Amino acid sequence: MMKNFKKMPGLALIMAIAATSSCQQTNKTASKATADTSKKTMYLSQPLISEIYTADPSAHLFNGKIYIYPSHDIEAGTPENDNGDHFDMKDYHILSMDSINGKVTDNGIALSIKDIPWAGRQLWAPDAALKNGTYYLYFPVKDKSDVFRIGVATSKNPVGPFKAEAKPIEGSYSIDPAIFTDTDGSTYMYFGGIWGGQLQRWNNGKYDANGSKTDSQKENEPSLNAKIAKLTNNMLSFDGSPKDVVVLDENNKPLLTKDHDRRFFEGAWMHKYNGKYYFTYSTGDTHFLASAIGDTPYGPFKYQGTFMNPVEGWTTHHSIIEIKGKWYIFYHDTQLSGKTHLRNVKVTELTHKADGTIALIEPIKK
């Protein structure tokens, strides 16, 4: 864990030595965020909203308006532990904006855990899609057996209220659904997260409740991969079994588990730029946002590098969209609370360089 902290922004004032989610911590005794009030952090951007805590922002432009589908962080009083139980969210609020610098509206409760028939606990990072006038909200939540599954809910309104389907998406598991619609109209879900996200407990479509809490027992093997599944035309099911999203190193070999600075951890996103597919994700315990480029939605993807250095807080989760010819990244940190599980969403511009790679973003000014 100490290794990771060396990589935190030099003077990040609030050292979230905490754990999270995928939200797991490796050092229980160091789980309290501590504020160093002697120095002032220079944040690249400011929270979009401060009335509620929000995280994991999945942004979309629907009919010319910006909608952000975030997690709604709360102080649930659930004790912190290695599984990220303290990320005990119970509903979703959708944010909307007419323009990047415009007013941000919190549109109230869009979906509550009590209205999801199969849900147990912990509504984590959602995403959304629009097809033929219907809005689809995709969400991970633990079922009544405490296994993360991914559900879908529908609405005629981008901000809900949404009505959940009676069961999770068949064949779905783990966390962090990210929906990508390609230029040919095909829609895909990227998903998965290790550690608290449970991906390491899945083997050949089966869940091992006694499986490892981390991926650390396989350090010299290829790392666990995010998954991709094409969605059926009605957007409610997987069109076939999920496939691995493989990220290759400079020698065209899959990244290894021990490569914590580069391997996939959680928080997948896909965007298309100049005909190439950009798979971006969080490296989790090393707190980077990484990018990898491929020629198809399925990859394989060649690792390109870090494009965002660690934010304040433990988790790192983002989305990338184009608005009026400019590209933006929506992300979160813990500026408002100094607590790992009470986060706030932000936005800043993102640049693709002439060689196609993404320019490095420093979320805290040096």
Tokens of 2: 């100490």
Which residues in this chain contact ligand FUB in the complex, by CB under 6 A?
A: 20-23, 55-56, 71, 87, 124-125, 175-176, 193, 266-267, 315, 317
Q: Which is closer to ligand FUB, CB of 267 or CB of 297?
A: 267
Cβ 266 to ligand FUB, closest distance in Å? 4
Cβ 208 to ligand FUB, closest distance in Å? 21
Q: Distance between CA atoms of 342 and 136, rounded to whole angstroms?
A: 26
Instruction: Write the single-letter amino acid at 163.
Output: K
Tell whether omega for the bond before 57 is within 30 degrees of 0, i.e. cis. Answer: no
- Other beta carbons within 10 angstroms of residue 201's beta carbon come to 19
For the stretch 352-357, contacts whose Cβ atoms lie closer than 8 Å and that sit 24 or more positions apart, written own/partner, are 352/273, 352/274, 352/327, 356/273, 356/274, 356/276, 356/293, 357/291, 357/293, 357/304, 357/305, 357/307
Q: Distance between CA atoms of 272 and 156, rounded to whole angstroms?
A: 27
Identified catalytic residue from 80, 85, 127, 266: 266
Q: Which is closer to ligand FUB, CB of 112 or CB of 357?
A: 112
Using left for φ > 0, alpha for ψ between -120 and 50, and beta otherwise, residue 275 falls in: left
Q: Which is closer to ligand FUB, CB of 141 or CB of 235?
A: 141
Cβ 128 to ligand FUB, closest distance in Å? 15
Is position 266 annotated as part of the catalytic site?
yes
Identified catalytic residue from 56, 85, 88, 333: 56
Cβ 111 to ligand FUB, closest distance in Å? 15
Q: Distance between CA atoms of 328 and 349, rounded to whole angstroms?
A: 4
Is position 250 annotated as part of the catalytic site?
no
Cβ 124 to ligand FUB, closest distance in Å? 4
Task: Please choose, from the candidates 138, 95, 107, the residue with its C-alpha nearest in 3D space to the C-alpha of residue 330.
Answer: 95
Q: Which is closer to ligand FUB, CB of 23 or CB of 94?
A: 23
Q: Which is closer to ligand FUB, CB of 60 or CB of 86?
A: 86
Instruction: Enumerate the active-site residues.
Output: 56, 266
